[in-house]
């Protein structure tokens, strides 16, 4: 399976990131690489995507406070950087249940009433 732009040594263990799935981490890094390779600053990249600079920073970051990606954003990136969605997302595992698609969920500490 061939991986997209930032695969290889840049793929991190899923357990390091509680908010994002491995596919989201890879796409976020790909978005950042596309912007940098095109020579766009954060401000220019934000203007092109019609988001604030802070939003673009959140889009590109994999820290737990970064934002999730949406379809409209991916469509804009496809048009602006002239890349197919396959190039942005990369090849996906055939197994729908692969950990590649999963993100950890917070466990709620529920108190069970004994009444």
Terminus-to-terminus CA distance in the chain, angstroms?
55
pLDDT at 90: 77
Residue range(s) defining the domain that contains residue 18: 8-93
pLDDT at 107: 55
Question: CATH number for the domain including 20?
Answer: 1.10.260.40
Whether residue 10 is predicted with pLDDT greater than 80 in this model: the reply is no
Joined together, the tokens standing for residue 91 give 């090849």
Q: How many domains does the chain have?
A: 1
* Residues 42, 53 contacting (CB under 8 angstroms): yes
Looking at per-residue pLDDT, the higher value among 113 and 36 belongs to 36
Residue 49 located in a structural domain: yes
Q: What secondary structure letter does DSSP report for 50? A: T
Residue 25 located in a structural domain: yes
Spatial distance between the Cα atoms of 23 and 5, rounded to a whole number of angstroms = 12
* Residues 113, 52 contacting (CB under 8 angstroms): no
Share of the chain above pLDDT 70, in %: 58
Residue 68 located in a structural domain: yes
Residue 47 located in a structural domain: yes
Spatial distance between the Cα atoms of 18 and 97, rounded to a whole number of angstroms = 18
Residue 107 located in a structural domain: no
Residue 53 located in a structural domain: yes
């Amino acid at each position: 399976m061939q991986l997209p732009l930032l695969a290889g040594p840049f793929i991190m263990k899923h357990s390091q990131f509680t908010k994002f799935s491995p596919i989201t981490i890879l796409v976020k890094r790909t978005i950042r690489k596309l912007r940098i390779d095109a020579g766009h600053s954060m401000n220019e990249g934000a203007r092109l995507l019609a988001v604030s600079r802070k939003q673009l920073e959140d889009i590109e970051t994999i820290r737990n406070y970064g934002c999730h990606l949406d379809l409209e954003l991916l469509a804009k990136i496809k048009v602006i950087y002239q890349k197919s969605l396959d190039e942005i997302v990369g090849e996906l595992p055939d197994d729908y249940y692969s950990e590649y698609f999963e993100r950890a969920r917070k466990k709620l500490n529920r108190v069970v009433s004994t009444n």
